Each structure stands twice: as structure tokens, then as C-alpha cells.
A and B are shown apart, each in its own frame.
Chain A
Amino acid sequence: MNEQNHTARTPVDQRILQLLNSSIDGEINVVDQQELDHLLATSQSTRDLNDELREVTRALDELPEIIPPKYLQDTIERQVRLPVENKGAENKPGDFGSWINANWLRTGFAVAAGVLLTVGVYEMGSGPIPAGDSASMSGTIGSNSVNSQKGELLDRINLESELFSGQVELRTHNDLFTLNVELESDGASELVIKFAGRGLEFESADSPQDAADTVSVIDGSIHLANNGEQNYVLNLRRVPGTDYPESLGLEFFANSQLIQQSELRISHSKSK
């Protein structure tokens, strides 16, 4: 076969560059690949160019993934959860105006997550939000009154892992279901309680601590973002006219990794 030499910037070179790059990217069709194979077999300069381009792309592909600073995720989440506080002290958390603004962003988040039907995200420590102020919200979150250990015990789940441990206890009294949650974690962790489609609605959340931790209620799930030791009392109410709920789904995350998935049984001791 005759060897060909190609100098820079000729139309032929552009064609060769196109073929080589398409091949490197794995986006070349059969006919073009055959043309390239022929060029590679007959042209030393094409082979050299191929080697050089592959070396460049390999070097780019081998650039290491950079791990973002540890504080970044927390910072982002706090900024998104507290857009009003970040903007200044004009509005106090819990004010109606503040809540509207914050809730708009939170609703946005839920749509972004592709899931949607926002209930709300509230900062622990804010005063309870009047139900009348919130069309899309079905409960309140506060940090004062805590009513635990009431009602019939239905189920209890324990989590024991190196990074995240705790206990979730479910009790019921009439149509109210109370979750007593005790969590302890070494670092950022999260408990997600799924109640969507289970005949339950969010009623309230309390924590005895003046904690900076947050409770979020999004898309039929309660998210407890935890760091350190924290207790919560969560109340869910049975939706009138629906079947008696059977269970609640729990997901425990540590460092963004799912470490345990569990179901709290409700219906085994109750009739419909």
C-alpha cells in the first residue's frame, strides 16, 4: 500500500481529523470507520495523528474526579432552606412573608427533584406556622412541646451501625400515629419516613432541643437531617375515608449512602 503524507489544514486533513475524533469518541458509523481503517493502514501521518490525539484524550479522561469540600453540601442545603435568613434580618423566620418566599423555593426544589407535590420544608426552631397560611402544607413543626410515649405501641425499629444508630418507635391513639425518634450519628445522616399513598397525612413535628437540625416534609416523606444526637416526635394523622394504613417506610442514610431500609408495621394489631 502507498503511504500518504498530509500537511496541516488541507481539506483532507479536516476529513481525517473528523474521522479520528469520531472514532476516539465512539461516535463513528461503519462506512466512516472503514474509510479510517484504510487511512490508518496506508498513512503514517494519520497513524501519528491518531496516536497523538488518543494520548490527549486519554490524559483528559484520566484527570481525577475532584472531591468537593465536605462543607459544600451542608452549605448549599442551608442556603436553600433559609433563603430569607440569608438575605438579611428584615423578615423573621416564621413570618408569613418569609414563609411564602421560602416555600416557593422549596416547591421549586421538589419539582426539580422530579417528584413533586410539595408540602413544605421548615426550619426547626421557627415558630409554628398557622395552617391557614399554607395551602400546600398539612402540618407544623416546632421545638417546644413534646408528647412522647403516648398511645399503643405498634412497632419499633432499631438501627445499629458505626456511623448512625438509633430507634424509631411507632404508637397510635385514635387516628393519630406518633413516631418517637432517637438518633445518634457521627457526621451527616438522614432518616426518611415515607407516608405517601399510605392513608396518612403529616400533622406535626417536635423536638426537645433548640437544634439547628431541620425537618423537611417533601413529596409525602419526612426528612430528618441529623448530625450528632437528636430526638424528634412526629405525628401523622389517618386520612379520613381511606383504608387503615398498613406500614410506614423508613430509610436511613449516612454520608448520603443508604444503610438500612425498614418498614414499621401498623395494621397487624388493628382492624380496618
Chain B
Amino acid sequence: MSQLVSQYQRPVFNAAYRILGNMDDAADATQTVFLKVFEHIADYDQKHKFFSWVYRIAINESLNQVKKRRTQEPLDDGQASPRQGPAEALDTKRICKRVQAALMLLNNDYRTVVVLKHISGCSYQQIGEILQLPEKTVKSRLYSARQLLKKSLQAEEAEN
């Protein structure tokens, strides 16, 4: 049991965190994901990869929490590397906060593909399998999401 939880806890938590934007909600979602994994294991179709199934549950649970919550709480992002100096760490934290804030402005469909691609490191094909979407749709959403992020970050930079 420990091995399974150890193996999937971090990636599930990180995906949830990037979709939800705060630690407490991500922890709640992660707990629920594992309970659902064990509870619905009979539904797991071995034709698909196990990690895809777990990720699908993680994404769905995170999106459920987004719907329940509606309002976004302040972000507590930006873990600086211990190797960084104070100024550099502050800069990293600021950039992370900006990127996460821009991510939260995306709609759920776009945010989900970005998280799976850049946080979970999934390929187009894997994202398609997790979200049960054609690869073409995955690409289209990802490319549009990046364009929106680009605009959002540029606009934010211009404001400051």
C-alpha cells in the first residue's frame, strides 16, 4: 500500500495543486483520489495504463472541487530552491506566482491539458488517453492555452 501511495501521491498532489491553486484543496483532492482508486478498482480496465486511470480520477476530482469552490483563494506558490540566494529566490517566487495566477485564469479544459503536459509530463497521446480526447483536440487545446497564457503574462507584465 505504501508503495502505491508513495508512487502516485506526489504527481497526483501536484496536478491537483496546479488545477486548484492551493495546498489545502490539493491535499483534500489527493485523499479523495486515493479513496476512489481503491473504491472503484473493479472498474479499472486493464487495457489502459494504470497511471492514466489514476490521473483521470485525479483530474476529475480536482475539477469537481473547482466547481464546488467557485471562488479562488489567494495563491501560496513558489517554493524557492535552497540553492538560490534571497533575491533570486524572491524572483523565482514572483515568477511562479505570476505563472500560477495566469494558469488559474484559463478555463478548466485548457488548464487541464497544460497541467498534464507541463506538470505531469504527459505526451499528447497520454493526455488523450487520460482525458479520453482525440490527440488532435489535445493539441488544439494545448496550443490555444499557451497562446492565452502568453497574452495573460504579457498583459500582466505591461501593467506592472
Contact = CB atoms under 8 A, between A and B. Distances in A.
Contacts of A112: 4, 37-38, 41, 44, 50
Interface of B: 1-6, 9-10, 13-14, 17-18, 23, 26-27, 30-31, 34-35, 37-39, 41-42, 44, 50, 77-81, 92, 95-96, 99-100, 103, 114, 117-119, 123-124, 139, 142-143, 146-147, 149-150, 153-154
A256 B39 CA distance: 24
A63 B50 contact: no
10 contacts: A53-B150, A60-B119, A61-B118, A63-B100, A63-B119, A64-B81, A76-B35, A79-B34, A108-B39, A111-B44
Given A72-B9, A216-B1, A21 B142 contact: yes
Contacts of B17: 66
A190 interface: yes
A153 B100 CA distance: 60
B1 A108 contact: no
Contact of A17 (B2, B41, B147): B147
Interface residues of A, number: 46
B27 A109 contact: no
Interface string A20-33: 01100101000000
A72 B3 CA distance: 14
Given A60-B114, A109-B4, A114 B38 contact: no
B6 A73 contact: yes
Interface in A19-68: 21-22, 25, 27, 52-53, 55-57, 59-68
Interface in A66-96: 66-69, 72-73, 75-77, 79-81, 83
Q: Among B5, B26, B96, B149, find the residue whose CB has the most chain A CB atoms closer than 10 A.
A: B5
Q: Among A63, A72, A80, A111, find the residue whose CB has the most chain B CB atoms closer than 10 A.
A: A63
Contact of A63 (B9, B18, B31, B153): B18
A223 interface: yes
Contacts of A68: 9-10, 13, 26-27, 30
B27 A69 contact: yes
